[in-house]
A and B are shown apart, each in its own frame.
Chain A
Amino acid sequence: MAVEIPESDATPDPLNEVNSPSSKCVHFGVDQALPLDGGGTLGPWQIAYETYGTLNADKSNAVLVCHALTGDQYVASTNPITGKPGWWSLMVGPGKPIDTDKYFVICSNVLGGCLGTTGPASTNPETGKPYGLTMPVVTIRDMVRAQARLVDHLGIDTLFAVAGGSMGGMQVLQWAASFPERVFSAIPIAAGARHSSQNIAFHEVGRQAIMADPNWAGGDYISKGVRPTKGLAVARMAAHITYMSDESLHQKFGRNLQDRDSLTFGFDADFQIESYLRHQGMTFVDRFDANSYLYVTRAMDYFDLAKEFGSLPKAFQGSKTRYCVMSFTSDWLFPTSESKAVVKALNAAAANVSFVEVESDRGHDAFLLDVPEMFSTIRGFVTGAAAARGIPAPGGR
């Protein structure tokens, strides 16, 4: 059977977690409003997060993990909506490269997201209705400012490490540039210091798909009791292609047909790849809010560290942070050249940088997958940084 994109009566509802998340959550009042790059402030606002491991006495072992476009705070624990394990549980957990027996790991939902941090689906306290498009557009720097408030709230001065892939990697770079003295080590993976024209183009396709869905209703779909699931699913389908390599698609699906022996000479999902993409689109709408998708993709598009600082080396001038930059050979969304531009700038700024291009045919998604070379490099880098930071070994006193 071909997978069909469902109508808008999807269950479970991704909006269940918007205002009262299952995770930890800090509320900031109007007096603690968050200044935004687009002008004005946001407040009251809230940030939803999870923590793993134990903060040590001198608060030197905190690791902030930043999630990607559609990620969430459940980096190493079960997502309450999907019931799936944490999105980076291969990387973060007891005995894992980012070892929760040793480090205190924090992961928060991004500003503009839909898993409990204030975003377009959140209820605007002034109106009692969802923000929708009245939510101000946010940037990667706004997301990082919000995280910094959370880190302040947790009483942590310097983060031992900030790590993340894709949009998470953008946040890592923003952290290092905006709060150099608060970041001991930085691990941007499969990322870049800007969103490329091609990347913006793909995002625009996704946004247009959402906004072309009549159920989007000018962004006011929640009040109208409908959901632009078709548009959001198409956006996800287009984006999903960019997360994989031609080779991995070919290996996984080739031109194989889906549950049939011959072509149907119609527009059903004849090919496995079509069925797979429809499935990806369909499951995505169960866990993500369409307006959040608009806001978060926009934040990525606006990201350009060189523009913010005048030049990329200036963004890292005088940086004492230890960097571990990583890219993947088959990633065409954030190709190695983007990581190398960051490395070049870090070298120009005489920063302390390691860089590895990991051989993988899995495309951009490689950072989320079981790629042993990635784990051994990160484990080595983190261990070396821990020694430099003077963090005792597990069980150490």
Chain B
Amino acid sequence: MALTSQLTIGNDVRGDYRVVADFVPEGSRVLDIGCGDGALLDILVRERRVDGRGMELSQDGVNKCVERGLSVVQGDADEDLTDYPDGAFDVVIMSQTLQATHDPKGVLQELLRIGDQVLVSIPNFAFWRNRMQLLFRGRMPVTKYLPYEWYDTPNIHFCSLSDFVELCEELEATVVDTVILDGQGNKIPVRAPWWMWNIVAEQAVFLLER
């Protein structure tokens, strides 16, 4: 969840936020899990007029959200999602956080239970640069977008896009839409088969439904 704020590029809105925001219907009930300082939630509340809620692990993040006038609870995605009733939200968002949870499968199940639609953005570990670093340097990949060393990364459950899609199938979730992005969060406008996306995408946003 530390990633959320790490990935804000300067004062610009993170690219994947734009992509995520575009998927969120006007006026819907939204829960943003791992909402960091509330940047995305703030956009959604102001621009898409959503009834927005957030969950964030760090006290600092929660404070910043509450100071912005957002409704955010301090909580841990691994433990506290069970508090929400089934179908409590139109859209549940987990942006760059799933790979930092202890039980991504259990968390994803919870997201699908709570939200009618689930928006998940994840880094793609099978991005070609990562593959190159492993293949030629024999080292765990460190990139501008994923700047951590193996020993200090909060990302304890990396996956590739293909891995994630497989998990969705296992959970009987429908992948309604996918947008692939570069490290800055810009859309990569290529129509290509999945194996290709799994190479060129540095991150991706998935829209899922039960």
Q: Which residues of A contact B (CB under 8 A)?
A: 322, 324-325, 343-344, 347-348, 350, 352-359, 373, 376-377, 379-381, 383-385, 387-388
Contacts and interface: CB of A to CB of B under 8 A. Distances in A.
Interface string B39-80: 000000000000101000001001101111111111100000
A376 B71 contact: no
B73 A354 contact: yes
Contacts of B63: 356, 373, 376-377, 380
A343 B83 contact: yes
Contacts of B51: 352
Q: Which of A376, A379, A381 has the most CB of B within 10 A?
A: A381
Contact of B88 (A347, A352, A383): A347
Given A348-B83, A350-B88, 7 more contacts: A347-B73, A348-B85, A354-B73, A355-B74, A356-B62, A373-B59, A380-B66
B84 interface: yes
Contact of A355 (B67, B69, B73): B73
Interface of B: 29, 51, 53, 59, 62-63, 65-75, 83-85, 88
B197 to A, nearest CB: 36
Given A354-B62, A356-B62, A343 B67 contact: no
Given A354-B66, A388-B69, A348 B59 contact: no
A356 B66 CA distance: 9
Contacts of B66: 324, 354, 356, 377, 380-381, 384
Contacts of B74: 355-357
Given A377-B66, A380-B67, A358 B72 contact: no
Sort A-B residue pairs by CB-CB distance and give the 9 closest, nearest first.
A384-B69, A380-B67, A355-B73, A344-B83, A347-B83, A380-B66, A354-B66, A352-B71, A354-B71
Contact of A354 (B29, B72, B83, B85): B72
Contact of A359 (B59, B69, B70, B73): B59
B72 to A, nearest CB: 5
20 contacts: A343-B83, A347-B88, A348-B85, A350-B29, A350-B85, A352-B71, A353-B71, A353-B73, A354-B62, A355-B62, A355-B73, A357-B59, A358-B59, A376-B63, A377-B67, A380-B63, A380-B67, A381-B66, A381-B67, A385-B69
A259 to B, nearest CB: 40
A209 B29 CA distance: 53
B71 A322 contact: yes
Nearest to A347: B83
A352 B59 CA distance: 18
A318 to B, nearest CB: 14
